Each structure stands twice: as C-alpha cells, then as structure tokens.
Structure 1
Amino acid sequence: MKNLKTKLLAALLLGTALAPAAWAQDAINLTNLSYRTGPFAATGTPLMNGQRDYILMLNERDGGVNGVKLNYDECETGYNTEKGAECYEKTKATSIVTQPWSTGITLQVLPKSNVDKIPILAPGYGFSPMTDGKIFQWAFNPPASYWDGASMIIKAISDGNPDNLKGKKIALLHLDAPYGKEPIPLLQAYAEKHGFTLLPIPVGVKEMQNQSAQWLQIRRERPDFVLMWGWGAMNAGAVAEAVKTKFPMDKFVGIWWSGHDGDMKTAGEAAKGYRSISWSLPDSNAKVMQDIKTHVVDKGNSLIGEGEFDWVFYQRGVLISMFAVEGIKAAQAHFDTKVVNAEQLRWGLENLKIDEAKLAEIGMTGMVGTFSTACNNHAGHAGGWMMQWDGAKFVKVSDRLEADQAMIAPLVEAEAKKYAEANAPWPTNEECKM
C-alpha cells in the first residue's frame, strides 16, 4: 500500500499521473496547479488529496458525471508564482479550468483568462474584487471571498456590532505576500468607520518558523485581538509563539486557511481556544465522505495520511472539486452536451445553485452554506462559521455568520474598476444587467 501511494504521489509531482496523451477524447480534463512541495506543502497536500479523491470517487461510483469520465491531473507549483504561471501555460490547452491555488498566481493568470477564455476557479481565495463578475468574467471565488472572511471575523469578535471595537487595537499578523495583504483594505475601512486601530504585522516567508520579532512587537503593542492571515509553516510558527508568550488563545483568530488541523497538532492542548472562520464544516459521516471511504480510501487509492480523512482541509478539498463538478453539470444541462468546454464551464460556474436540495442530493448536507452565483456575483457569499480548537480538533462554536455586503460592495466596485482601468483595454460583460 505504501509503495502504491509513493508511486502515485511521484507521478502527480511529475505531472504525469494522468498524462494528456493517455486521456480519452470523450472525457473532461481538470488540472490542478498543486503545491505538494515547498514551505506550504503541509497545507496544500490535504487540500489536493481531497480534491483528487472526490473526482476518483465519482469516476468509480458513477462512471464520472452524466456518463463522462473526469480526468484529474496536477501540475506542481510549490506555491511559486513563476512556476504557477508556467503550469498555467502548460495546461491551459488541455484543462477546461485553471485552479491557481495562490493569490500571486491568480493575479498572474487573471489578465490571461480573457484572452485564453479559460475560467479561473479559486474557492475562498484569490483577488477579492473577482466577486464582480461584470468585470472579471472568467474568474470565480465561491463560496466566499477574503473580504467576506474578514467581515465575518469582525462580526464575530465584536459580538455582532463592530462599534464594540471602538478604541481597541487589532493586530493583523499576515504573510508578506499578496495573499496576506488581501484583507488590509477592508480592515482599514472598518477601522476608520468604527474607531479601532489596525496594526498590520507582516511575516516574510523566511521568518515563518521564527516569528520572535513579530511576537515581540505583539507583546509590546498588547493588542486586544490578533487576526492571522497565515499559510503553511507560518500558522504552526505563530501558534507556537502565541503559546510561548501566553497570548490569550480566544483572542487569536485566523482566516480559513489558518484553521488547519495539521498546524495545530504540535501545540495540541496548549493551543486550546484558538479560533478560525471557516466556510466549510467537516462531517466524516456525511454520505459523500462515506462514499469516498468506500470507493477510494478503502481500496488503497487515496494519498491521505493517518487521521487526514477527518481534517477540515481534506474535506474542504472535496467541496472545492464539488464546485467544479456542479459547474460541469450545469453546463451539460444548459448546452445539452456531455463533454463541456472551457467557455461552457464558465457559464456553469456563473450559474451555480448550491441549495439545501442540491446538498442533500450530493450527500453534503451541512458541509457548506447555501449560495448561488450570477453574472454580477462570482463568489456567492455563502457565509461561514467560527471554528475553535478544542485541543485535539476544530469544532463549530457559532451559528452561521454572514459578511456585511453593504460594507464590502463599495470596495469591490472601486477596486474592480481600478484594476480594469490599470489594465485597459479590459473587456467587461455589458450584457449583465443585474
């Protein structure tokens, strides 16, 4: 079993797990710009495993989607923007979607999508203004954007009223990269409107495992809350420093990519109380998870490690592939075709309807909030829940939270317009009247 997994992983890293030359002509090809190597591998690996296993399960259980096989492949980027751009160029001719898996890579391929006419699927990540489908016709970030996440965190730490934060100090411990800088414009707008002080504290890639300087600043500044936009080794490093400095864990709150079981295991009981907003909820007993166990894991065809099946990130990966598959189904029905192309998938992703009936049908009830997309809304704004580390695992500790779109929408409109003007001539969807 171990040798099989080693061979499968080696094939994926080489990008030859399902070589295009061997792909059937009557199949649908989905390539993931993965990062199983490098400083962010610990977070990337379970996400990729979840994405991969959902596709394998559908092929094994159903023969694919409506009788069409799904070919899953990966192009390894190591979360490196330059390698990501290379992977995009290498795979755009064979895959009907590109999944960049990095805000930096997303920004690199964003202008290319209009020319190449291939949809970008960036669930819960990427460039927040991509929500505006009128301007970013080919980019999708369902079920929620980073600005949605920041808004929900503010709502949670203020007990539903941001005015409660007046006079307080909030530190933003963030990766010094496009991803980590994403929430700053919205958090600054909140700070100005509600009278709190925002203190951004960047963490360089080389500092991720040694954040002593950043936590010295946190001890000196004594913020009321520390928000974390961390990734990979940065998360575990920050939690270790918070424990060491005895920072109150219930005042330490992360975005959904800073809520990874693997990052918390080392600290264990000492990190009890840490919270993370999440647009997904793990449920190992859900029908979809049991089908993955039966058709993929129990047959030895999964790459997951011990305990990973129950992790937030593995099951979030399952949901992410579901978004792609539901886009394919919508396109198949609308265009009355089995093997959809990239342009047809774009329509499908723009017309997702993930309601309670759909979640029940696909065995995912309660694992993600309901949402729908439209020509002017490529995120869906599904909302999320606050998760808390109980010393051994993440558990849900809040009702469903929703982002304040009245606060977010003007910023989305302004930043989307600014991007289009800076990259003129930029095509917009003039047919969208919503």
Structure 2
Amino acid sequence: MKLWKKLAAATALTVVGTGAMAAELYTPNLAYRTGPFAALGIPLMNGQADYMTLLNERDGGIGGLPVNFEECETGYSTEKGVECYEKTKGGALVTQPWSTGITLQVLPKTNVDQIPILAPGYGFSPMSEGGTFQWAYNPPASYWDGAYMILSDIAGGDMANLKGKKIAFLHLDHPFGKEPLPLLEQMAAEHGFELVPIPVGLKEMQNQSAQWLQVRRERPDNVIMWGWGAMNSAAIAEAVKTKYPMDQFYGVWWAGHDPDLAAVGAEGKGYKSISWSMPQPDSALMAEIKEKVIASGKTQTTEDQLNSVFYQRGLVMSMILAEGIKAAQAHTGNAEITPADLRWGLENLDITEEKLAELGMAGMVPPFATSCDNHTGHSGGWILEWDGEKFVQASDLLQADQSVIEALAEAKAAEYAEANAPWPVNDSCGG
C-alpha cells in the first residue's frame, strides 16, 4: 500500500519501541518571510507554525503523529511558489500556496497530483464551487464575501444606500488585487454606484503619489483598499498626508495589519478593515501557546506579535488544517491519511461555537461549515476599526448575501472549466 507521507530527514525520524520508524503528517507551507510582503508574512507564518508546534508539544501531533510544518520560502514570487510546490509535493498531504497568483498556477495541477490546496481567506473566489474545484479550499470566507461585507457596511446594511456614491478601488495590480473586481463591478451595475479602479503596480507600492493624486481628483465617497505588504503602509501614510477622511477608508483583511496603523497612530483613527478573525489575547489557546511554545523558545514569534490581528489569524489558519486532518482520521479510522482522505476532511469541517470553545478559540473566528459543494463555508466577518492605538471590533457579525455570491461563483467556475477543458467536474456534489 502506498503511504502518502513524507519521512523526514534522519534527525527528524522517531524510533519507536519496536525499532520501527514512526510516520508523520507532512503539511508544507509555501511561506514568504522575505521580500516586499514579509512584514505581513512573518506574523502570519509564526502564528501558523506556533499552532502546529503546540499540537506537537502538547498532544504529540494529531492522532498520535507529529506534524512536519516545513516551510519553503517563496518571497511571494509566483515562479518560486511553483518551484516550492514541485519540491514539496512528494508525500505532502496539502499545499498551502500563500498567494492568489501561486494558487492560480497550482490549481490545474491539483486534478493530476490530487493534493488539496488549502488557501484560508484567499485565492480564487470560485474555488467555493466544490463540484468544479474538487481539490481546492478557501475557508472560512472568500474575497467576494469580503468585498460584499465592506459594501454592506458602507451602505449601513441597505445596498440601496449605495446609489449615487463614488467608490475608489485602490488595489495591487496583481491577481490578488484584481480578484474582487467581478463582484464589485456587478454590484456597481446593480446598485447604481460608480466604481473607480485605481491599480498600484508592484514597483509603485511605496510611492503612490500618482494614485493619491487621482483619489484627490476623484473625491470618492469611500476608498476600498485591496492591498498587501508595503502597499498598505504607504497608502495609509498617503491618506493621512492628503487628509482623506479615515472613517471612509476600508481595507480587505490583509490590510488590517497593526504596525501599518501604529506608524500613523492617532492620525489613522477611523480606518476600517473587514476581518474573518478576531484577536482574543485572553483566550485559553493563547495561554497554552505562551506556556508550551513561547516560554520554551520553540518559536520565531516576538512578544509584540502575540496579540496582533495577523499572528492570531495564523493560529486560526492552522486550526482549520488541523481540524481537517482530525476529521479525515476519524472518517478513515487511521492516523496515517492520504491527500484524498484530507480532501474529505476539508469538505466536512464543522467549526461550531462549541468546537471553538473546546479548542480555546472562542470568538477568534465565526462558526462555519464546509461540504462537497461548498469549499468556503462563508463564515462572515467583522469590521475592525483603528481607535488610534489598536484595532477594535466595530460591527456585529456581517454576512454576504450568498444568493449573489453563489450565482457569480457558479458562472465563473463554469467559465474556468470551459476555458481549461477538459476539466473534471464532480456532478454528484449537487448544490
């Protein structure tokens, strides 16, 4: 029988009492701790790694098998990301691409290699359509969910209030930054607001004077920022410099990074970011992380990261993977699982309030569930607002209208399958 596992280097192998080598769960992460996006990548990767370290230290891994959470550095480069995918796929249970560009490149390979893609809160939004994208998962919420929730908050819950508004869409000129455009364009047509796309090239991230000159000229009612890394801090600094009203400035969940706002302090007060995660500094999980991971020095995390949005979001992301592994192990009755088993686990997640409390993560993410035809879960999210010193919760839980999201996802998934024919589709999923 072929074992879908990776045996670590000799120093990492464990010899059990019988003298046999113990297997492990190989879950490589295509990390980006270097390059222009490192400021965001470092706390996220630290949170992800620390969660798996906790499971290894406290529980001996998952189901009795240690987790090998090896990182392959991409610098957020699509080319390097594909190289990392090819390097790590042998024996991997999962691929964690960490870039919409890398995700799009790897996506066609999943039908051949049959290794699940796990892209929590990022990637190609139509991946929610499990019948078409059988090996791809983006729980707990997609970029289209995020864009819809931002519009809902701008509209005060009634989309009719968007009519006549002008909304600038300041976005990285990259697959990630362009991802919400189909939803935003459809909503603009339906609800009568003017959408003004303002792209920011990779070489322009730290000098956005031309983009903010356009903002001043357009005088939009709101700016929505789909930014990443150095782009965000530069945009926030420009908004302050040009005296754009910060309470009219919104960002995606990757544009809600504490240090970016700390750099402008009180002048950033009112800035908002949608978020599917919520820091809980006093949670039972954080107490265990501090005791079993931080205090023992088995981490790269610095003290100032622990309560940040991004570090704690990293914890949630690894929880999602761990719960998928647990579900697969329970379903098969085996600790050693295959990528196909994990596929089943990831489309049978049931992250309830009770489950979150059991994990010590109450309030860190909204409850959500996945299925064969729903690979996202569509958890909803909260608006976080910068109060001059820190991000605070500024809304009740928001939800995207799934009748809108699903119809668009079905159409775009069908387009993708047709453009990449022959593309295997699982018609038994339903939905």
Q: TM-score, normalised by structure 2?
A: 0.95
- Between the aligned partners of 1:90 and 1:210, the Cα distance in structure 2 is 35
Secondary structure, aligned partner of 1:289: helix
Match of residue 372 from structure 1: 369
For each residue in 1:218-276, what CA deviation from the matched residue of structure 2 results, as whole angstroms up to 9, or x when unmatched?
Answer: 00000000000000000000000000000000000001000011222211111111000
Report the Cα offset of residue 433 of structure 1.
Answer: 2.7
1:112 aligns with 2:109: yes
Report the Cα offset of residue 131 of structure 1.
Answer: 0.4
For each residue in 1:399-419, what CA deviation from the matched residue of structure 2 results, as whole angstroms up to 9, or x when unmatched?
Answer: 000011111111101100000
Match of residue 5 from structure 1: none
Secondary structure, aligned partner of 1:228: strand
1:159 aligns with 2:156: yes
Match of residue 12 from structure 1: none
CA contact (8 A) 1:20 1:94 kept: no
Report 1:30-41 matches (<5 A). Answer: 30-41=27-38
Match of residue 209 from structure 1: 206
1:335 aligns with 2:332: yes
Match of residue 56 from structure 1: 53
1:101 aligns with 2:98: yes
Report the Cα offset of residue 21 of structure 1.
Answer: 5.2
- Between the aligned partners of 2:10 and 2:198, the Cα distance in structure 1 is 47
Aligned residue identity for 1:82: E
Report the Cα offset of residue 94 of structure 1.
Answer: 2.6
Report the Cα offset of residue 317 of structure 1.
Answer: 0.3
- Between the aligned partners of 1:201 and 1:212, the Cα distance in structure 2 is 12
Question: Between the two proteins, what is the percent identity of the paired residues?
Answer: 64
CA contact (8 A) 1:225 1:252 kept: yes
Secondary structure, aligned partner of 1:123: coil
Of 187, 193, 200, 2:197 maps to 200
- Between the aligned partners of 1:151 and 1:34, the Cα distance in structure 2 is 28
Aligned residue identity for 2:31: S
Report the Cα offset of residue 299 of structure 1.
Answer: 1.2
Secondary structure, aligned partner of 1:31: coil
Match of residue 77 from structure 2: 80
Match of residue 9 from structure 1: none
- Between the aligned partners of 1:65 and 1:303, the Cα distance in structure 2 is 22
For each residue in 1:334-392, what CA deviation from the matched residue of structure 2 results, as whole angstroms up to 9, or x when unmatched?
Answer: 01100112110010000000001111111111110011000100000000000001112
Report the Cα offset of residue 66 of structure 1.
Answer: 2.2
1:125 aligns with 2:151: no
Aligned residue identity for 1:278: S
Match of residue 13 from structure 1: none
Match of residue 184 from structure 1: 181
Match of residue 231 from structure 2: 234
Secondary structure, aligned partner of 1:388: strand
Match of residue 17 from structure 2: none
Report the Cα offset of residue 63 of structure 1.
Answer: 1.1
Match of residue 418 from structure 2: 421
CA contact (8 A) 1:102 1:179 kept: yes
- Between the aligned partners of 2:175 and 2:126, the Cα distance in structure 1 is 13
- Between the aligned partners of 1:270 and 1:340, the Cα distance in structure 2 is 51
Report 1:318-333 matches (<5 A). Answer: 318-333=315-330
More off after superposition, 323-332 vs 257-266:
257-266
The alpha-carbon distance between structure 1 residues 131 and 22, as it changes in their structure 2 partners (threshold 3 A), is farther
Moved over 6 A (4+): none
Secondary structure, aligned partner of 1:383: coil
More off after superposition, 395-404 vs 18-27:
18-27
1:276 aligns with 2:290: no
Secondary structure, aligned partner of 1:313: helix
- Between the aligned partners of 2:112 and 2:9, the Cα distance in structure 1 is 23
- Between the aligned partners of 1:20 and 1:315, the Cα distance in structure 2 is 30
Of 303, 311, 314, 2:300 maps to 303
- Between the aligned partners of 1:337 and 1:257, the Cα distance in structure 2 is 36
Match of residue 351 from structure 1: 348
CA contact (8 A) 1:172 1:228 kept: yes
Report 1:139-158 matches (<5 A). Answer: 139-158=136-155
Secondary structure, aligned partner of 2:427: coil
Is there any run of 5+ residues in structure 1 with no aligned partner, and where? 1-17
Report 1:251-266 matches (<5 A). Answer: 251-266=248-263
Match of residue 284 from structure 2: 287
When the two structures are aligned, how many residues end up with a matched partner? 417
The alpha-carbon distance between structure 1 residues 345 and 23, as it changes in their structure 2 partners (threshold 3 A), is farther
Secondary structure, aligned partner of 2:28: strand
Aligned residue identity for 1:293: K
- Between the aligned partners of 1:391 and 1:20, the Cα distance in structure 2 is 48
Report the Cα offset of residue 22 of structure 1.
Answer: 4.4
- Between the aligned partners of 2:169 and 2:198, the Cα distance in structure 1 is 6
Match of residue 4 from structure 2: none
For each residue in 1:83-103, what CA deviation from the matched residue of structure 2 results, as whole angstroms up to 9, or x when unmatched?
Answer: 000000000113210000000
Match of residue 379 from structure 2: 382
CA contact (8 A) 1:35 1:78 kept: yes
Report the Cα offset of residue 19 of structure 1.
Answer: 5.5
The alpha-carbon distance between structure 1 residues 72 and 213, as it changes in their structure 2 partners (threshold 3 A), is same
The alpha-carbon distance between structure 1 residues 395 and 159, as it changes in their structure 2 partners (threshold 3 A), is same
Q: TM-score, normalised by structure 1?
A: 0.95
For each residue in 1:102-130, what CA deviation from the matched residue of structure 2 results, as whole angstroms up to 9, or x when unmatched?
Answer: 00000000000110000000000000000
Match of residue 244 from structure 1: 241
Secondary structure, aligned partner of 1:307: helix
- Between the aligned partners of 2:8 and 2:249, the Cα distance in structure 1 is 44
For each residue in 1:164-216, what CA deviation from the matched residue of structure 2 results, as whole angstroms up to 9, or x when unmatched?
Answer: 01111000000000000011110011100000000000001111111000000
Aligned residue identity for 1:305: T
1:410 aligns with 2:418: no
For each residue in 1:25-70, what CA deviation from the matched residue of structure 2 results, as whole angstroms up to 9, or x when unmatched?
Answer: 4111110000000000000110000000000011111111121111
Give the CA RMSD over aligned residues.
1.1
Aligned residue identity for 1:429: N
Aligned residue identity for 2:240: V
- Between the aligned partners of 1:93 and 1:265, the Cα distance in structure 2 is 42
